[in-house]
Structure 1
Amino acid sequence: MPIQQLMTGNVMWCYDHELEQANTADEFRVMLSFAQPLHYHAGQIVLTDTALLISGDIDLHIPLDAMEQLYMGFDDHYKRMYVKNGGLFWQPLRVTYANGSTTSTVYLIIDHDWMGARNKIWYEALTSMFA
């Protein structure tokens, strides 16, 4: 049976451990006009009926059955200061998933433009798949 693509988009993303390395220069850079939110990777994202697939500078495959937590918002790793306007128009989508014997956490910014991001739509689609 072929894989069914449910949604596609552009994505900027980073791991939680990469955010731990963010410094004052990174924080200042996102405050500049026309600067993108803090991220370390970019590419395309596809939601299928079995996984989140990211292709770009790094490819990432997150099986839906490996997802442990979905969260939309800021936290100790992805801070409001990493986003222009303090996240007034959008918030990052955090996905924590089993990765072998450990867990990994990524922060996604999907279809970002100067008006916001489509993270809420993706969050709602993912949570509805688990309902």
Structure 2
Amino acid sequence: MENILLSGNVRWSTEAEVLNRGAVDQIGVHFSGIGPFHRHTGEITLTEKAIYMEGDTSLNFQLTELEQLFIGFDEVFPRALIKNFGLTAQPLRLQVSSGIGLLYLFIDYNGLGLTSNQLWFNSIKTVLSEYDG
């Protein structure tokens, strides 16, 4: 059994889902309590070997499949897709191989617009550095 390092709730989307959003999606995030733009919700778990997401859609991958780890906005997921234009939260971006592609995550998003994304970014980075060591 793998050791669980972190767990929480997650709102997430793939790059294709963000690119195919509608005008209602873009405007709705500013007026409703749904949080930042996302297509999926569930629970996320980080172990020393993998990330597991279970919810309306399940997605799991090994950390060795992680090609890029970044926190922040880009041309695909602009500040306009989150209430208050990202002053309190930015997406955690994971580029994953094996056909998964680019993922945008908001972990433990709360009513104040805060997330645990920075904690997750730092934790994943630490685990990955142990692979390189």
Q: TM-score, normalised by structure 2?
A: 0.92
1:78 Cα deviation from its structure 2 partner: 1.0
Moved over 6 A (4+): none
Give 1:128's aligned residue: 126
Report the more deviating stretch, 31-40 or 51-60: 31-40
Equivalent residues in 2 for 1:84-103 (5 A)?
84-99=83-98, 102=99
Unaligned residue ranges in structure 1 (runs of 5+): none
Q: Distance in 1 between matches of 2:127 and 2:66?
A: 12
Q: Distance in 2 between matches of 1:90 and 1:39?
A: 14
Q: Distance in 1 between matches of 2:33 and 2:97?
A: 35
1:103 Cα deviation from its structure 2 partner: 5.3
Equivalent residues in 2 for 1:57-72 (5 A)?
57-72=56-71
Aligned length: 128
Q: Distance in 1 between matches of 2:40 and 2:100?
A: 19
Question: Which of 91, 99, 116 lines up with 1:118 in the alignment?
Answer: 116
Q: Distance in 2 between matches of 1:43 and 1:103?
A: 17
1:25-58: CA deviation from partner (whole Å, max 9, x where unpaired) = 1111001042311000000000011100000011
CA RMSD of aligned residues (A): 1.1
Q: Distance in 2 between matches of 1:45 and 1:33?
A: 24
User: What SS class does the counterpart of residue 97 from structure 2 fall into?
Assistant: strand
Equivalent residues in 2 for 1:15-94 (5 A)?
15-94=14-93
Tell me the amino acid that sits aligned with residue 55 of structure 2: G
1:16 Cα deviation from its structure 2 partner: 0.2
Q: Distance in 2 between matches of 1:32 and 1:75?
A: 22
1:72-106: CA deviation from partner (whole Å, max 9, x where unpaired) = 0000111100100110011000000111xx45111
Identity among equivalent pairs (%): 33
Report the more deviating stretch, 47-56 or 22-31: 22-31
